[in-house]
A and B are shown apart, each in its own frame.
Chain A
Amino acid sequence: MEITEKKILEWLEEVKDPEIPVLSLVDLGVITGIDINEHRVRVTMTPTFVGCPAIDYMKQDIIDVLNSYGIDHVDVVVSFEKSWNSNMITEKGRKALKDFGLAPPPKHNLIVDIDILEHIECPNCGSTNTILKTPFGPTACRSIHHCSDCKETFEQFKPV
């Protein structure tokens, strides 16, 4: 069987963010390059946050999944050449986040200021009558908000 970039991306759908197991790395937007050279595949990825502690797990997961499809030589390179921002999460990924109970990050023009963190849509009831409690949550990529309508506290995958 011929290995194509499309095929690789399809297989990589199986590799999920270890902290958000409904979201694949492809939908998260952190896979920034696939290079195929005969039977050798090089996957380039970029972290969501520079200090993301999950990066080594993700690298190993990529290798394991591609190995399971018969690709024995897999290199995973971490690069900042094409650096991640939260606009790179796909529509499918945004829906998965919401279903998981995490508000997807608002699209932005790459300059995040405090205004776009207010009135985030509540993933539980859909209200935008919400307030930012703190821009720092249980992981580097999440902020904490409170919904004034359904009174639930929720997390957001924060815009970067």
Chain B
Amino acid sequence: MNETALKELLYKVADDQLIIGHRNSEWTGMGPLLEEDIAFSSMAQDKVGQSQALYQLLHELGEKQPDTIAFTRNADQFHNCQLVELPNGEYDFSLIRHFLFDTAEAIRFDMLTTSSYTPLAQLAKKIQGELRYHTMHANTWIKQLGSATEESISRLQSSLDKALPYALGIFEPSPYEQELIAEGIFAGEEALKAKWTEKVTEVLSQTRLEIGDLSAIDPKFGGRQGKHTEHLQPLLDEMSEVFRIDPAAEW
């Protein structure tokens, strides 16, 4: 098995989960209503937990301990897509990002359930069940607010337009795309993007939101290679603040 290709895949998927999990957690105590506060907090817990399990797989392949991987790297060593590091903004932006990202991650883990790397396939099967609740949550709100009032529709539309170039950045091709596909580790970003486009279009067609022509959008690539927006490093500084005070502390 091509271990370099596998590790590259695991890093980007784990980093996506950790960073979006952290962003979700920023809604704790701030949600527009209690249920949403709890929903984003619960999803944060799931996603950070999933990142830990993915970092554990990397650890078993010879990388450092999950906590070390999560808390001691700088922004240019992270492989998450830029979409997940963007600040939460207002609720409409968080909701659109949640919908666009979680649809992609849910499909990605569905695809990974048949990975030729068994530990990843087993973990993906488990994560897949949890993510159903996340996409269910996103779809419910997008359908409801995407066809509610003029204000909700125009806010979501403007957030959608802003998020789409970053959402397409999720599918930035890996340098190992061919190896991953050939070895049956992962069916590839192109295949994922096609399924994502179909699903996102289907949900949005039940609203008054317009997705437009995706081929006319220039995707925000770079995240997978460690090129990030100015928003990632401050997030990492905050996330690792306690850990860095005493990395050897026993909790």
Contacts and interface: CB of A to CB of B under 8 A. Distances in A.
Q: Do A and B bind each other?
A: yes
Contact of B39 (A81, A112, A136, A158): A136
Interface stretch (B67-75, B83-91, B126-134, B174-182): B126-134
B7 interface: no
B130 A49 contact: yes
A136 B38 contact: yes
Interface stretch (B48-56, B160-168, B226-234, B241-249): B48-56
B126 A134 contact: no
Contact of B49 (A52, A113, A133, A135): A52
B173 interface: no
Contact of A53 (B45, B126, B133): B45
Contacts of B50: 50-51
Contacts of B119: 80
Interface of A is mostly: loop
Given A51-B49, A140-B45, A160 B130 contact: yes
A85 B130 CA distance: 10
A80 B35 CA distance: 30
A50 B38 contact: no
Given A50-B46, A85-B129, A135-B133, 12 more contacts: A49-B49, A49-B130, A50-B49, A50-B123, A51-B53, A52-B49, A80-B125, A81-B122, A113-B132, A135-B137, A136-B42, A140-B49
Interface of B: 35, 38-39, 41-43, 45-50, 52-53, 119, 122-123, 125-127, 129-130, 132-133, 136-137, 140
Interface of A: 49-53, 80-81, 83-85, 110, 112-114, 133-138, 140, 144, 158, 160
